[in-house]
């Protein structure tokens, strides 16, 4: 029970820190909605067959949730660096709280910051035709919570090692951008393969017409 109380107190502290920054709360809620509003319509006319809004959302929303889970844990490195510079980490280290509680309090905060906007994204997507499979979404949510926990712990470790905001930003951005672009999160790999094939066919036709 003692460790659960420690985790709850540290989690509460992190949540209060987050709520004291309403700009970040607003940005965290709006960012996935902007992704959905700006990128999802572009998938309607991809390929030879025009997709419906429901089909686009069924393909786009799971990837968006994955991107959201990945990004929710990435910011922990900056928080740790700030805590190091202000002496918060040293004060927590000499407290009776266990190291596991110190870690889990932050990880649970990051999981909550993933779950809340995810529920908002799923609800708005459902209004516009997203097919909701309850058990499938629950399994996906559990897996993505684990992803957020892993990324949060990793990002916090990087912050403890490098101890500089610029270095954390370089490491995080250097990994996040290529992983986002190459993983098929924003554009499913099947559609990307079809686009590549269509582009190659188009180039072949152009070259053939020039030769004639």
pLDDT (tens digit, 9 = 90+) per residue, 136-145?
Answer: 889 988 999 9
Please give the residue range of the domain that contains residue 153.
Answer: 2-186
pLDDT tops 60 at residue 163: yes
**Quick one: pLDDT at residue 25?**
77
Phi, psi angles (nearest 5°) of residue 164? -140, 135
Per-residue model confidence as pLDDT tens digits over 22-36 = 887 787 788 888 888
> Model confidence over 64-88: pLDDT tens digits?
888 888 888 887 878 888 877 777 7
In contact, 95 and 110? CB cutoff 8 Å: no
Q: What's the domain count of the chain?
A: 1
Q: Categorize the per-residue pLDDT at 204 as very low, low, confident or very high, splitting at 50, 70 and 90.
A: very low
Average pLDDT over every residue of 89-93: 76
Query: Does 159 map to a domain?
Result: yes
- Looking at the chain, the whole-number percentage of residues with pLDDT higher than 70 is 82
**Within-domain flag for 204:** no
- Tell me the DSSP string of 155-166: HHHHHHHH--HH
In a domain, 96, yes or no: yes
Asked which of 8-17, 116-125, 153-162, 190-199 is least confident by mean pLDDT, the reply is 190-199
Q: What pLDDT does residue 187 have? A: 62
93-102 contacts, C-beta under 8 A, 24 or more apart: 97/6, 97/9, 97/10, 98/3, 98/6, 100/3, 101/3, 101/6, 101/7, 101/10, 102/10
- pLDDT, residue 67, reads 83
Does the residue 196 lie in any domain? no
Q: What tokens appear for 8 in the block?
A: 């709850």
pLDDT band, residue 101 (cuts 50/70/90) = confident
The overall average pLDDT reported for the chain is 77
Does 70 map to a domain? yes
Distance (Å, whole) CA 181 – CA 177: 6
Query: Which pLDDT score, from 0 to 100, does residue 151 have?
Result: 87
Residue 83 belongs to a domain: yes
pLDDT attached to residue 23: 80
Instruction: Answer whether residue 210 is part of any domain.
Output: no
**Domain contains 205:** no
């Amino acid at each position: 029970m003692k460790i659960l109380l420690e985790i709850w107190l540290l989690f509460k502290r992190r949540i209060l820190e987050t709520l004291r920054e309403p700009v970040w709360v607003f940005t965290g809620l709006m960012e996935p909605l902007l992704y959905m509003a700006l990128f999802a319509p572009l998938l309607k006319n991809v390929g030879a067959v025009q997709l419906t809004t429901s089909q686009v959302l069924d393909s786009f929303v799971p990837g968006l949730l994955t991107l959201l889970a990945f990004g929710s844990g990435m910011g922990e490195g900056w928080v740790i660096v700030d805590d190091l510079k202000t002496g918060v980490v040293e004060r927590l280290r000499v407290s009776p709280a266990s190291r596991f509680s110190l870690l889990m309090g932050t990880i649970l905060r990051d999981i909550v910051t993933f779950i809340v906007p995810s529920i908002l994204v799923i609800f708005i997507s459902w209004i516009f035709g997203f097919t909701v499979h309850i058990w499938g979404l629950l399994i996906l949510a559990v897996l993505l919570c684990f992803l957020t926990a892993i990324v949060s712990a990793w990002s916090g470790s990087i912050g403890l090692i490098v101890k500089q905001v610029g270095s954390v930003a370089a490491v995080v951005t250097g990994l996040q951008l290529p992983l986002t672009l190459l993983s098929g999160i924003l554009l499913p790999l099947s559609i990307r393969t079809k686009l590549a094939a269509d582009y190659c066919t188009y180039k072949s036709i152009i070259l053939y017409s020039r030769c004639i």
